Every structure is written in structure tokens, then in C-alpha cells.
Chains A and B, each alone.
Chain A
């Protein structure tokens, strides 16, 4: 039977400065709203309390934005409210995203005490000029100090976020970043290939020709290097862009990739439960205002997920995991053999050497990792 545990995502949409590549919902110079926002988060958790009374939370993920822009007490308060409102499993994973410039000893201490056991630090690159070009406001030194402070505070599950394929980035610089990061032995590394999103400063710069991306060939070279480098240092490459020491995989994200249920709290957050997906109002003030008027989360979009759609999404998301899609798990969930549904597609993709099949799984090949979308598109209804 389906695991009835679920995840909780809490969105903190505030930043000191917007990074040039970022298109997530986040506001700058809106700190004035933080206290009201936290109150609304609490109300929203209360709203879901009854619905979730028979179920337990497995993971909490506080993302942003920049969650660590909040005061230590505010962070503490949010986590305590969540733990008071929901029933939780014993081995609860609580992750929080942090920026090197807003991490302080006091915050780390309070977070640790509140139960946070996984820290995700956004570094992106180790070179000052690359950080500057991305609009990041921290230095490599700040990152190192933050990382060591976290270790000192007892965090034994730390992720470092990286980006490769940056404008002007060389293979040597990428290698340097990876060397310096792995020297610190973080338990987890997320390394994303840069994607230029419409509506970002980077997009405008790219369209007007001010910046140029590394050639695809070079960019793929960085990706292959990343995989070799990290796996040879004991990291398990478990998702297209994610690496972890065994047992340190991010459980919250795995919940997404296994297409499980989660509740998103806060402006612009996403939820998936009871065969539906919800997307909260993105506008900060509207989110706060409408909530206080109606006393329920302002929904921007809502979508019913039919069984067919759920099957598609499950396949696509699972295939992001390098272990691939577990055929038995699939059968148990949907009561049908995936090969009865997609025999032709699977054969075609195997012949193109984009996926491979083992006794238990269907997974992307090395080539398939480069062309994952070409694989996924075959499972879109």
C-alpha cells in the first residue's frame, strides 16, 4: 500500500538580493512583511492540521528565497509551530536552505536546537568573479567559514549547491570548485547545469549578447567530470543533478521524485495530495491579505491528477533517479505493468540506448542523462 507519510515544504520568499539566474518567487526589500508572513504560515499550517491528523510527516524542507534571512527566533518559531501542529515520524528530516552571508553562529545554534538536521548551503562556484557575475553577494571565504561553523555546531548532513555551465566558466575553474568543496567533505552535493530562465536578468543579458554560455560540448564535459570526480570520492550519483554519501540522500527531494504527497506552505508553494496539485498565490501581500480574509490558503492554480497523469508523472519523476523506476513498486502502486502501458516506447528508447532495463528497474543510460527530456517526452499523455 502507498506510504501515508508526507512531506512539508515551507517557502520563505525573501532575499537580500535577487541572483541573476533565479526565477523562483522571492522578494527583496520586503522584510517589513516578515512578521505578518510568519503569522500567515502558522495559520496555513493550522488549516491543514485536521486534514493531516491521521497522517505523519516524514520530512520538512524550508526553502526560498533565503530562509536564513529571518531572525534566529523567527526560524525557531516556524519550526516549533510545524512540530506542534503536525504529527511526525521519529526519523524526521528537517532541511533548511542557507546562504553563506546570512549564516551566523546564533542561527545555526537555534536551528540545531529546533531540530534542523540537514543544512543546504548555496555556494554555486568558488571563484569570486563568477559569483559576482551571477549576482551572488557572498565570497568563497564566507562560505568556508559558514560551513565550518555548521560542522562545529554539529551539523552532520550538509549539502552544497553548485552550478556549472556558467558564462565565462572554464573547466579548470569547475575542477577547482569541486576540489575545494570536496575537501570539506559535505555529505551531499547538488550540481545543476545552468538554465537560463525567461524573466531573469541573465536571460536579458543572454538575449542581448552581453554574455555567452560555454559550448554544449564543454558544458557536457563539466557534467561528465563532475560525475567522475564525485563518484570516485565516495559520492553516490543518485539523481541527474544530485550526489550524496550513501544514506545521506535528501529524503524530502526523493519524495518529489517518487511522486509522493506533500503540502507546501507559504506564497508560491506547491502541494500534491489527494490526487490534486495546488499552487499558492505568488504575490506576497495578496497571500497574506487573502488568507486573513478567507482564512484559507489562496490558491492560484489547482489541477486534478487523473490516474493516467499520475502514471506519467510517476514515470518521469522516477526516471530522474539514477537507480531508475522500480517496476515492482510501479506495479504495486498502479496495479499494472509499466511494460503493458509503454512497451513500444520502452523498446524504442532501449534501441536508441537512452534507457536500459534491469531485472527490477528501468533507468536512464549515461547517454540518457544528457537527453532525459527526449526520454520523458515519450511518457507524456
Chain B
């Protein structure tokens, strides 16, 4: 048996919380990659944030060595994928490097919205799917029913679905055997010119960019000159290796294998995920298909809380972009917030993750503006403009029509909550499309929804109205005409650009009032009265007033305790630093954030 015949490249796909990471850990443990004692739970979820949230954001790769029942030793490359709807792009990247996928489904929960979306992605990539029913140790496990769901809803044969309890270590070897027996060996020829797919990367301060690659044809080793097929940049390889799960240098990566390479690439712009690497001299003629580029759908402004941090924010965004090609950003300025960036994200979770990573990993203090989608505006002049920032909205008199993106939302839920969820979708301007029963208790409903309505709080509301039992996924549908208006907020009679929203006409009054109320709570009193107004097209639709502060004086003397007095003032000054000046009103960062979640 050739080496290539003993390679299997696979991913694990699952709905969130169905046990993907635990199963991955067990596979590592079973194949002796890690002794049980050394194991931190969920080894593959490297980021602190991932462990905390229990989700996988970044793809990770690891090579397992497994001696199968047929007596041969196999190399199994596991490429972990994110489970969330926002990270479809990353899933797609990982899947392109594989020949098969293990589909994990919770034995108690059954198929969920993201189970479906992930399966469809895997099928698009022509992958062999190995169904695994996990958590069979749960008292509420119903594996037979889940098998039926797999066949009815997904339409693949589930008779050989493996019953697993990753937690109790049941069925792990069966999974490994299935990988060997069901997933095809990698195709591709070791004798053809090199073609390697870059499916991920990270930055190492010493080695430069580390590219995660799947070798399709040919092979790659140290000292070789390689060429990026997208930009023709040439680099000399100084290290190739595998993930063991830590990086381990080896001599050579051959066709079918998964590993990494370092080539002293210091400038992150020189490497693009999805690009094909070939040999500088003996080049391949055709690059690999790469990925379907997914465009960001949600935008927001990200500003440093301290204006002096602008450069640090820029550098941090560049670093994150290195292994998150779906993140885009460009500089923008706001009268209220100063210099910052307009950033584009795949979805709301993606946006939250990026914000959190910027704050945690780069220690930045940020102010973010309300998320927006891209609106298509037809002007009276016939010109069509695309706007991703409410601030840039044309004057109402110039607008002929406004179109907004609609998505097709798929929601799976127990049927007792159907009423509540339909009500929610209705409130969010949804258009009912269909309802199908998965079995006697569970339902799939689909709605057309304006993306604008789900980027704020739809997930939270859905969760609370279904006690967490609903799952949700969406895909872009089309742009449709809507009756939208721009809602402006005036503080002390000045429009605050960072607080403008695009909303449906019927919601403007309610939102205007709630935003004004929220701002009243979060803006401190000033030495003068501060009016807060919400306006649509110059017409005031809501008003709150922050009463004037009458005193801010420390009357007491505290004896000789001057330090205490000074500390009080230092605290006050620290608070002021985090304020944004609009006219002569100081607005705390929290105020900008407080309007993001309006119920």
C-alpha cells in the first residue's frame, strides 16, 4: 500500500454543542496523540474565547496516526471547522482540503439548522459523509429517531450511522475505522508539478506567516522556491511540517498530505487564503479552484476608545485578517468618534467575535457603532448607490427608492413554540414561506426576513422565546424594496453621526423613543440641560431631557487625607477620558454601545 493510499483527510461538522470538539479530543486521545492526563479538554479550540463560548471559530488541523484493523498504519488529517452559521466561509475552506466529513448529530436533539447547512456545504464539496450519532449516553437519547431524521431530512443513508458517546468514550474506534474504510484516499499525483491549497494561516513573530496547506499534487520541502499563483510572489521555504498537534518539522510534504510551511513571509498581504502554491520553476499551469468568496453582510464602525490607539487598531485588524479573510475594513472618520474603521463581517456573531478578539488579544479599548447592512439606494437622478453606513445616506429628497437585503431564514424548533416564533418573525417584518414537520414534535419553518432586522437581537429573542430549543440559519436571498427611513439622534441639538440608524418607517417612532430613553440613562448630567432628540427627515419624533447637574463638589475635608480627595478626582478624570465630545456634551462609550441592544 502506498503512503498516499494510507492518508485520509477529513473534517468534523456539527451543529453547535453537538459534541464536535469532544469527539475530536477523543480521536486524538485514542490515537495516542495525547496522554489522557496531559489533555486539556478540547485541545483543538486553541483560542481562549473559543473555549469560553464553547464554539470553534478558527479552523485547526492535526495529524493522527492510526493502526487500523486491517493491520496498516494510516495518517488521518483532521481539519477542524467552526460550527456557526457566520463562519460558513471557514467551513468551506476546511472542507476544500478534505475528502470526507464526519457528521455529528446529538442523539437527543436531532438535526438542527446548522446540521443542515453544514451538510449541504459538505455535499457541495463532494465529500463522503460519515454520520455519527453522539451523546447516546444521555437518558433522552433517541438514536433510532435521529437516524430516521437523517434519512428523511438530509436524504442520506443512516443505517450504518455510528452510535457514539464521546464523553463516555463509546464508539471511538468505530469512528476511526469508518474514516479509514469509507472516506476515499486523496487523489492527486506526486509526480505532477506542485499544487498546494492554502486553507488557513497564522502569524508567528519569529517565522513569519505560517501557511496551512493541503498538498494536492507534487511535494514540497525545505529550500524549495515556491510561487503564489495569485500574485506571482516567490519565496524560499525554510520549514515544512505537520500538526502533531503542535507544529513538528518534517522533511517533506507529499501529495495528499496536510501540514504547514514557513517561508519567511513577513508581510501578511503576500499570502491569501484559498490561493494555490506551486513551484517557482516547474510551475503548474492551472491553480486549484480555491473558494467561493463570501462577501460581508454586516458592517459597523470600530473606533479606538483612545484616539491615540488608531495605529494599534489598524495593526490588530491586519493580523486578524491574516487568518480571517472574510473580515474587511477600511478607514473612516466620524465627527463624534474620530478616526476609526468601517469593518465588514459575515454576521453578527462574527462581528462580536472580532470585537472581543481585538479587545482581549490586542488589549484594545473600542467603541463600536450600530451594525448596518448594505442598502441599495436609487436616487431621483437614476444613480444607484450602495451604502453601508447610515451616516452616508443621501438626503431624503434625493431618494427614489431604497432596497435592503433579505435572507431566507430556516428555523428548527419544537412545535409548541411555533406560535411564538412566527410572532417574532412577523414583528421583524418576516414573510412566511413554509412549514414542514421533521417528526411529530419538531418543525422546520422558513421565513424571508430583512437582514437588517436580524443583525440586532434576533438570536437573543429567538432563544428566549423558545427556551433555547430553536436553531437558526440563514442565507442571502435578494435585495427588495422597503419603506425605510434614516433615524437621526440629536444631542444638545447636534446630530451625532455615529448614532444614525436605518429603520423601517413603522418602527422609527418606537426606536427613536427607546434610543432617547437609553441615552438619557447613559449620558451623565452636565452643567447645563441636555436635550436628546430623535428625528426622521428633520422632523423630531421623540425627546428626552437630561436635567442639569447642580453640583459637583466635595464639601468634606477628610482631615489630612489629601490622597483620598485626589483619588476621587483621578477617577473622575479617568471617566472623562473615556468620553467622546460632541459639541460641548461628553458622551461615554457605553452610551454608543447601549443603543445597540434595544428591545
Query: Which residues does A use to contact B, with CB under 8 Å?
Result: 9, 24, 63, 192-193, 195, 216-217, 219-220, 223, 240-241, 253, 256, 259, 262, 264, 269-272, 277, 279, 301, 303, 312-313, 316-317, 352, 369-374, 376-377, 380
User: Is the beta-carbon distance between B551 and A371 smaller than 8 angstroms?
Assistant: yes
A192 touches B556 (CB 8 A): yes
A241 touches B555 (CB 8 A): yes
**Contact A192 B559, beta carbon cutoff 8 Å:** no
Contact call A220/B551, Cβ cutoff below 8 A: yes
* Contact call B554/A372, Cβ cutoff below 8 A: yes
Which residue, of B527, B560, B565, B569, has the highest number of chain A Cβ atoms within 10 A? B560
B559 and A270 contacting across the interface, CB-CB below 8 Å: yes
Q: Write the nearest CB–CB distance from B57 to chain A, whole angstroms.
A: 41
Find chain B residues with CB under 8 A from A303 CB: 563
Are the C-beta atoms of A380 and B570 separated by less than 8 Å? yes
- Are the C-beta atoms of A240 and B559 separated by less than 8 Å? no
- Indicate if the CB atoms of A377 and B562 lie closer than 8 Å: no
Taking a contact as CB atoms under 8 Å apart, the answer to whether B569 and A380 are in contact is yes
Query: With A and B bound together, what is the CA distance between A279 and B555 in angstroms?
Result: 22
| Contact residues in A for B572 (Cβ distance below 8 Å) | 373, 377
Is B551 a contact partner of A316 (Cβ separation < 8 A)?
Answer: no
B562 A374 Cβ-Cβ under 8 A = no
Q: Are A377 and B569 in contact (CB under 8 A)?
A: yes
B392 within 8 A of A: no
Q: What would be 21 A-B contacts, judged by CB atoms less than 8 Å apart?
A: A63-B559, A195-B556, A216-B550, A219-B550, A219-B551, A223-B551, A241-B557, A256-B557, A256-B562, A270-B560, A270-B562, A270-B563, A279-B563, A312-B566, A313-B562, A316-B566, A369-B553, A371-B527, A371-B552, A372-B553, A380-B569
B552→A373 contact, CB < 8 A: yes
- Is the beta-carbon distance between B569 and A370 smaller than 8 angstroms? no
Q: Rank and list the top 6 A-B pairs by shortest CB-CB distance, nearest first.
A: A216-B550, A193-B555, A270-B560, A372-B553, A373-B552, A370-B551
Given A192-B555, A369-B553, A377-B573, A256–B560 Cβ distance below 8 Å? yes
Residue of A nearest to B567 (CB): A380
Min Cβ gap B312→A in Å is 24
A29 to B486, CA, bound (A): 67
Q: Which of B505-562 contact A (CB under 8 A)?
A: 527, 549-557, 559-562
What A residues does B550 contact at CB under 8 A?
216-217, 219-220, 370
Q: Are B559 and A373 in contact, with the CB atoms below 8 A? A: no
Tell me the nearest residue of chain B to A11, going by C-beta: B559
A364 to B59, CA, bound (A): 62
Q: In the complex where A313-B566, A380-B569 touch, is A371 in contact with B560 (Cβ < 8 A)?
A: no
Residues of chain A contacted by B568 (CB below 8 angstroms): 373
Residues of B within 8 A of A9 (CB): 559-560
Q: With a CB–CB cut-off of 8 A, which chain A residues contact B557?
A: 241, 253, 256
Q: B555 near A272 (CB under 8 angstroms)? A: no
CB neighbours of B562 from chain A (8 A): 256, 259, 270, 272, 277, 313, 317
Q: Does B46 count as interface, using CB distance less than 8 angstroms?
A: no
> Is there a chain A Cβ closer than 8 Å to B167's Cβ?
no
| Given A372-B553, A373-B569, 6 additional A-B pairs, CB 8 A | A253-B557, A277-B562, A303-B563, A372-B552, A374-B527, A377-B573
SS of B interface (majority): loop
With A217-B550, A240-B553, A373-B572 as known contacts, state yes or no: A279 contacts B561, CB within 8 Å: yes
Whether B576 sits at the interface, judged by CB under 8 Å, is: yes
- Residues of chain B within 8 A of A264, CB atoms compared: 559-560
In the bound complex, CA of A217 to CA of B554 (Å): 17
- B552 and chain A: residue at smallest CB distance: A373
Which residues of A have CB within 8 Å of B555?
Answer: 192-193, 195, 240-241
- Bound Cα distance from A63 to B560, whole angstroms: 11
Does B569 lie within 8 Å of A376, measured CB to CB?
A: yes
In chain B, what residue has the closest Cβ to A277?
B563
The chain B residue sitting closest to A312, CB to CB, is B566
Task: Give the shortest distance, in Å, between A115 (CB) and chain B (any CB).
Answer: 21
The docked-state distance in angstroms from the alpha carbon of A216 to that of B553 is: 12
Q: What is the bound-complex CA distance between A195 and B557, given in angstroms?
A: 11
A253 to B572, CA, bound (A): 25
Partner of B553, one of A193, A217, A301, A313: A193
Pair A371/B553 contact, Cβ less than 8 Å: yes
Q: Which residues of B contact A193 (CB under 8 A)?
A: 551, 553, 555
Which residues of chain B are near A370, meaning CB under 8 Å? 550-553
B567: min CB distance to chain A, Å: 10
Nearest opposing residue in chain A for B551, CB measure: A370
Q: Which residues of B contact A259 (CB under 8 A)?
A: 562
Q: Write the B369-409 contact mask toward A (1 if CB under 8 angstroms, else 0).
A: 00000000000000000000000000000000000000000
Q: Which residues of chain A have C-beta atoms less than 8 A from B527's C-beta?
A: 352, 371, 374
Which partner residue on chain B sits nearest A353 by CB separation? Answer: B527
A369 vs B559: C-alpha distance in the bound complex, in angstroms? 20
Contacts of B556 in A (CB 8 A): 192, 195, 241
Query: Which residues from chain A contact B559 at a C-beta distance below 8 Å?
Result: 9, 24, 63, 256, 264, 269-270
Closest to B584 in A: A352
Interface centre among A253, A259, A303, A371 (most CB of B within 10 A): A371
B550 to A, closest residue via Cβ = A216
Q: Please, how many angstroms separate the alpha-carbon atoms of A9 and B557 in the complex?
A: 14
Q: Which residue of B lies closest to A220 (CB)?
A: B550
Question: Quick check: A380 and B554 within 8 Å, CB to CB?
Answer: no
Find out whether the CB atom of A269 lies under 8 angstroms from the CB atom of B553.
no
Question: B563–A380 contact, CB under 8 A?
Answer: no
Query: What is the 8 Å Cβ interface bit string for chain B, positions 43-80, against chain A (1 contact, 0 not)?
Result: 00000000000000000000000000000000000000
Q: Which residues of the other chain, B, contact A312 by a CB distance below 8 angstroms?
A: 566
Across the interface, A195 reaches (CB within 8 A) one of B554, B560, B569, B570, namely B554
Q: How far is the CB of B525 from chain A (nearest CB, A)?
A: 9
A225 → chain B closest CB, angstroms? 15
Nearest opposing residue in chain A for B560, CB measure: A270
A75 CB to closest chain B CB (Å) equals: 19
- Give the distance to chain A from B579, nearest Cβ to Cβ, in Å: 12
**Closest chain A CB from B564 CB (angstroms):** 9
Q: How far is the CA of A317 from the CA of B565 in the complex (A)?
A: 9
Point out the residues of chain B lying under 8 angstroms from A217, CB to CB: 550
Bound state CA distance, A241 and B141, in angstroms?
73
Interface centre among B553, B559, B563 (most CB of A within 10 A): B553
For the complex, give the distance between the alpha carbons of A270 and B557 in Å. Answer: 13
With A9-B560, A264-B560 already in contact, the answer to whether A380 and B566 are too (CB < 8 A) is yes
Contact B560 A272 (CB under 8 A): yes
Closest to B548 in A: A216
B553 touches A373 (CB 8 A): yes
Q: Which residues of A contact B576 (CB under 8 A)?
A: 377
List A contacts of B549 (CB < 8 A). Answer: 216, 371
A317 to chain B: which residues have CB within 8 Å? Answer: 562
User: Which residues of B sit under 8 angstroms from A63, Cβ to Cβ?
Assistant: 559
Q: Report the bound CA distance from A269 to B527 in whole Å.
A: 36
Docked complex Cα distance between A272 and B549 (Å): 34
- Closest chain A residue to B565 by CB distance? A316
